Amino acid sequence: MLTTNIMKNRIVKALIMLTCMTSCTHNHNGDYNYTEEYINLNKVTDAITNDVVDSISYLGLPDINGNIPVNVNKLYVVNGTIYIGDCWRSKVFAYDRKSGVPKFVLDSRGSGPEEYLEIRSIAIDTAAIYIVDNYTQRMMVYDSNDGSYIRTMKMPVIADDVETLDDGGFIFAYIPMKGVKLAIDQPESRLFVVDKDLKIHDSYQEVKDGIYDAIGQRTIFSRCDQGIVFSTASIDGFFIIDPKDPSKQTLIRLPFTNGLEGKRDVVPDEISGYQHLSSVPYVCGDNIYISYTSDKGYGESVLWNSRYNGILQNSSDDLSKALIPIVGTYDGCLIGMVDDYETYSYMIEQGFAKAPDNVSQLLKDGSGIALVFYKMKK
Q: Given a cut of 60, is residue 13 above it in pLDDT? A: no
CB-based contacts of 296, cutoff 8 Å, min separation 6? none
Fold of the 4-376 domain: Neuraminidase (2.120.10)
Dihedral, CA atoms, 87, 1, 298, 212, nearest 10 degrees? Answer: -20
Q: pLDDT band at 32, cuts 50/70/90? A: low
Question: What local confidence, expressed as pLDDT, does residue 193 receive?
Answer: 97
C-beta of residue 292 within 8 angstroms of C-beta of residue 254:
yes
- Indicate whether 59 pLDDT > 50: yes
* Spatial distance between the Cα atoms of 57 and 332, rounded to a whole number of angstroms: 13
Q: Concatenate the DSSP letters of all residues of 180-215 into one string.
A: PPPSS---SEEEEEE-TT--EEEEEEE--TT---S-
Strands 333-338 and 44-47: unpaired
* 291 has a pLDDT exceeding 70: yes
Residue 79: how many other CB atoms lie within 10 Å: 12
> Residue 55 and residue 320: Cα distance in Å, rounded?
10
Looking at residue 29, its pLDDT comes to: 47
Region 353-359: mean pLDDT is: 95
For residue 262, what pLDDT band results from cuts at 50, 70 and 90?
A: confident
Instruction: Please tell me the distance from the alpha carbon of residue 10 to that of residue 346, in angstroms, as a whole number.
Output: 12
**Higher pLDDT residue, 216 or 290?**
290
Q: Which residue has the higher pLDDT, 25 or 40?
A: 40
Q: Is 74 exposed, middle or buried (0-12, 13-18, 19+ CB in 10 A)?
A: buried
Of the candidate ranges 95-99, 113-117, 209-213, the one whose mean pLDDT is the lowest: 209-213
Q: In the chain, pLDDT over 90 holds for what percent of residues?
A: 62
pTM recorded for the entire structure: 0.90
Q: In the chain, where are the structural domains located?
A: 4-376
Please determine, for residue 183, whether its predicted confidence score (pLDDT) is greater than 90: no
Average pLDDT value for residue range 134-149: 97
Asked if 73 contacts 86 with a C-beta cutoff of 8 angstroms, the reply is yes
Nearest CA to 195 out of 173, 221, 164 is that of 164
User: Taking a C-beta distance cutoff of 8 angstroms, is the pair 333, 68 a contact?
Assistant: no
In this predicted structure, the answer to whether residue 26 has a pLDDT above a threshold of 50 is no
Q: Looking at per-residue confidence, does 244 or 298 come out higher?
A: 244
The alpha carbon of residue 175 and the mean position of all alpha carbons in its chain are separated, in whole angstroms, by 15
Which of 262-266, 307-311, 346-350 has the least mean pLDDT? Answer: 262-266
Distance CA 364, CA 178 (A): 45
Q: Could you tell me what percent of the chain has a pLDDT over 70?
A: 91
Output helix, strand, coil percentages for the chain, rounded to the nearest 5.
10, 45, 45
Has residue 369 got a pLDDT over 50? yes
| C-alpha span between 96 and 359 (Å, rounded) | 15
Q: Are 31 and 326 in contact (CB under 8 A)?
A: no
pLDDT score recorded for residue 355: 96
Q: At 317, is the pLDDT very low, low, confident or very high (cuts 50, 70, 90)?
A: confident
State the pLDDT confidence band at 279, using cuts at 50, 70 and 90.
very high
Closest CA to 164 of 127, 203, 217: 127
Mean pLDDT of the chain: 87
